[in-house]
Structure 1
């Protein structure tokens, strides 16, 4: 079977156009792959859970009988040592969990509004 002479450039043009549209769509068009979309959704869900837990962290800190001493310790520290101290207070632990959450510790520190943070 013989194809007309114009079919070869048409096929190359269609193939080149499909490649160009794909490149433009993924770089500027906002297209994402399934794995990338799942990763973004997981990160967003994690951030939202952390934000939802900040009031719980603040309530736990308000109910702690050693709150004044712990806040004084937090006040003296800065940076990573402040976050680590916050994790040691137990305030940044999700209910039902045994280990403190680093992101929740950062968010709770921001919620406490300590001077110099």
Structure 2
């Protein structure tokens, strides 16, 4: 099939325009793929779950009989080892889970610092 000469500029313009709109939309327009949206939703859900569990972690720290010794251990630990100290204290382990949650331990540290002051 041959395309008339007068139609070729319109076809080229439509193709270039579509490519331009796609590039601008995904770069600056805020468009995203389904996989990107799923990843963002999963991260947001995880963040919200951790935020909801921080009061549980803080409550476990308040009711722990060895609270003072464990808090001293956490305070003495270097800043990058504090999360491990909270995990070893058992405050970041949820009932029914196999082990402590690293993100919950980090969020709990921030709550403990607010709680201690």
Question: Fold-level match, TM-score > 0.5?
Answer: yes
3-state SS in 2 of match to 1:79:
coil
Separation (CA, whole Å) in 2 of partners of 1:101 and 1:75: 19
User: Which segments of 5 or more consecutive residues in structure 2 lack a partner in the other structure?
Assistant: none
After superposition, the CA RMSD in angstroms is 1.5
List per-residue Cα deviations over 1:4-44 (Å, max 9, x = no partner).
32111111110000000000000000000000000000000
- With normalisation by structure 2, the TM-score equals 0.92
1:38-117 alignment, distance < 5 Å:
38-113=38-113
Q: In 2, distance between residues paired with 1:36 and 1:55?
A: 31
Task: Quote the residue 1:14 is aligned against.
Answer: 14
Deviates more, 1:2-11 or 1:40-49: 2-11
Return the offset for 1:3: 3.7
**Between Structure 1 and Structure 2, how many residues are aligned?**
115
In structure 1, stretches of 5+ residues that fail to align are none
After the TM superposition, which segments of 4 or more aligned residues of structure 1 sit over 6 Å from their partners?
none
